[in-house]
Amino acid sequence: MRRNGPHNVRIDEVARLAGCSRATVYRHVADKDELVREVLVRLARDRARQMTPALARVADPGERIAEGVQRTVEAVRGEWWYRALARHGATAAVARIGGGPRAFVALTSPLVAPSIDRLAAAGLLRSGVTVEHATEWLCIVTTGLLAVDDTSGRSRPEQIAFLRRFVADPLLRRSGD
């Protein structure tokens, strides 16, 4: 994948490099897209693990959500696989590889849900907001931000404030709720 990009992965080449048959590869993955998806999920888990300590130091829950979304977008845009897909229309490519929007949210949810679970356990989610819905919302927003070029002209602090107001705050309990 690093050499040829996610679009150009070939199962026979993967099998050759792994020292096994194509049939053996297909015992573990249904198709090329699933193989690529599994690699991307592993990379996303690594990214989430790396970001967790820094985000844990952000005390305000809304600020933590906004910072998490922004850091994720920045990190993904800098990754080799995303740059390779960008040459082919990254959003459409990620959606196809991800199995469509619902499947993509299902794949990314395990990375986001633990943070939302902690907010829910602390009683910080707005009434009627479920962990599942909050997780889906954050995955959709992050994917949407990746889909558009950042032409807003906002500085990073302004972008964090924007994400806080329009992405995080609707999820969180307000004083008096």
pLDDT digits (tens, 9 = 90+) for 112-136: 888 889 899 999 999 999 888 898 8
User: At a CB cut-off of 8 Å and minimum separation 6, what does 130 contact?
Assistant: none
Confidence at 150, pLDDT banded by 50, 70, 90: low
Specify the higher pLDDT residue, 157 or 82: 157
Check residue 4 and report its DSSP letter. T
Segment 74-78 mean pLDDT: 87
- 134 within 8 A of 61, measured Cβ to Cβ: no
pLDDT reading at 142 higher than 90: no
Long-range Cβ contacts of 93-101 (<8 Å, 24+ apart): 93/6, 93/7, 94/143, 94/146, 95/143, 96/33, 97/6, 97/33, 97/36, 97/37, 97/40, 98/37, 99/33, 99/37, 101/140, 101/143
pLDDT reading at 148 higher than 90: no
Which residue matches tokens 């997780």? 135
Helix, strand or coil for residue 49? helix
d(CA 67, CA 156): 10
pLDDT on residue 115: 87
Whole-prediction pTM? 0.80
Helix, strand or coil for residue 48? helix
Segment 94-99 mean pLDDT: 60
Which residue matches tokens 């939302």? 116
d(CA 69, CA 162): 11
Report the chain's mean pLDDT, rounded to a whole number: 84
Percentage of the chain modeled with pLDDT above 70? 84
pLDDT digits (tens, 9 = 90+) for 22-48: 999 999 998 888 888 888 788 888 888
Specify the higher pLDDT residue, 112 or 86: 112
pLDDT reading at 50 higher than 60: yes
Q: How many CB atoms are closer than 10 A to CB 40?
A: 22
In the chain, domain spans: 31-171
pLDDT on residue 176: 58
pLDDT reading at 91 higher than 80: no
Segment 6-19 mean pLDDT: 89
Q: Which has the closest alpha carbon to 40: 120, 133, 107, 100?
A: 107
